[in-house]
Amino acid sequence: MAGLTQKPTVIETDVLVLGSGIAGLSYAIKAARHGRVTVLTKKEDSEANTNYAQGGIAAVMDPGDSFEAHIADTLEAGAGLCDGAAVDLLVRSGPERVRELIEYGVRFTYERDRPGSLSLAREGGHSARRIVRADDLTGRAIERGLLDAAARAAVAIHEHYFALDLWVDEAERGPRCIGALAVDRETGEQVAVAARVTYLATGGCGQVYRYTTNPRIATGDGIAMAFRAGAPVANLEFVQFHPTALHPVEPRAFLISEAVRGEGALLRDGAGRAFMADYHPLADLAPRDVVARAIDAEMRRTGARHVWLDCSPIPATHFAERFPNILETCRSRGLDPPADPLPVVPAAHYMCGGVRTDLDARTGVASLLAAGEVACTGVHGANRLASNSLLEAVVFAARAADTTAKLLEQEAAPRGAPPRARPARQPDAADVEKLRGGIRDVLWMGAGIVRDDEGLAAARRSLAELSAAVPREPSSPEAAEVANLHLLGELIVRSAILRKESRGLHFSRSHPDPDPAFQRDTIIQPDQGKEHST
């Protein structure tokens, strides 16, 4: 694929997929049954948040478990904001989707003494063992299996292509997405990809925060592009911070899976006191938002830079068998669990909000679908239950593929004028990196684990001051990423300001209690700049 600097070449396909994680690849495999599928990914095909998922995929696979229990756990974690229909669909579709992943070739872990029985883990907020895993590298195993299946399905995957913006045709019925303008990261050449259906699977936006478990590519590109194209976004104030990232966290945090606490590890302060029972009846297996805030509170109380994760209750042989990747990484940093306690801190991990979609993955822009972390399906509400993320991605990717089959029967090939190429100017790399760091600091300080009215107002002012330095119509991936991060920062802060209560992942010192008046979604409409709740 190549394009000219002045006028991009138009490449035609039936379906354009942006992103190559579990949501993108599982969708692409199914969509390939209905037409030509082109996947653009801005890094290597395996570089995605999926690849870093340690814990696993939640699904009712044990006869002693039940759909009703999984649904109840999800609703409890969501703090009153989950969409009941979406949760029901998620949970009841889970076993079929897991079996499908196995058919694709994903190698999950099985019990040694029970051939054919999946080795299920338990994580925070779950009432049963229902985490299907591949040791502690589940994401990597899923990514590898899906890449092999995508190759067999003749899905065309193009690495190092960065989508600068969606290609939108303003029709009488409203905006319709007819593809995207992209740039080759290696050559700088621009290309317009025309598609009858465009599907966003671009993942989250953890890089908007100073400390994050997400890779550097997680810059919220899909949410930003969809918003600019006219799609409403929802619940962006609900950012999940993983409670236990290994300290120190730079340049990218390495997370210690919740499954470690599921096997018996305990959080302790510097004096050795196990403190989680002070914060929740489930103690160390409390939902993530509770654990992250408890750690933050203990660090503030004592002035410590981290707390300790005591893994000694787990037998050494069991730890090595269950968490080989964590053990290897810790040893590379001079730590030897379970004998050594691990220094841990919270870090930004997952966006529970996103581009607003219905149960069929449709967004507010015609012919534009979305699934995975980029989307807000209503499943997570105010807080995601552990390991529901990979499940949500594969369940709603399947729904999106069904929607795509219908759209391909209805939609003609795009006929809108191709987008003009952007001037190939490159802002100073040092300036872009400085701006990126400034945005991340503003969000960490003003819209982090604990917020208040004063801090959010200051964050909004700081982002407004930084806006003059944000590149306009960027043509380089680095400049486009920082523009997307700035927009995401503004949307997160605006959403948090609107919610005058504390609920789930949004905790405000200025409004410390939940308010029934805010038991509703926070929606920002891009067309008129409106902000409201429904």
pLDDT at 10 over 70: yes
Of the pLDDT bands very low, low, confident and very high (cuts 50, 70, 90), residue 5 is: very low
Indicate whether 261 and 385 sit together in one domain: no
Residue 420 lies in a domain: no
CA 394 – CA 409 distance, rounded (Å): 23
Residue 44 has a pLDDT of 64
How many helices (DSSP H) and strands (DSSP E) are in the chain? 13, 19
Residue 22 lies in a domain: yes
* Residue 319 burial class via C-beta count within 10 angstroms: exposed 0-12, middle 13-18, buried 19 and up: buried
Indicate whether 89 and 203 sit together in one domain: yes
Question: Is 288 one of the catalytic residues?
Answer: yes
- pLDDT 10s digits, 485-499: 999 999 999 999 999
Tokens, residue 289: 């938002």
Indicate whether 341 and 366 sit together in one domain: no
Indicate whether 200 and 229 sit together in one domain: yes
Indicate whether 135 and 188 sit together in one domain: yes
Indicate whether 299 and 381 sit together in one domain: no
Contact, 237 vs 522, CB < 8 A? yes
Residue 205 has a pLDDT of 96
Indicate which residue of 288, 293, 362, 451 is catalytic. 288
- What's the rounded mean pLDDT across residues 249-269? 87
Residue 3 has a pLDDT of 40
Residue 528 has a pLDDT of 52
Indicate whether 469 and 516 sit together in one domain: yes
- What's the rounded mean pLDDT across residues 222-245? 96
pLDDT at 251 over 50: yes
Q: Which domain holds residue 507?
A: 429-520
Chain centroid offset of residue 247 CA = 22
How many domains is the chain built from?
3
- pLDDT 10s digits, 34-51: 999 999 999 765 445 555
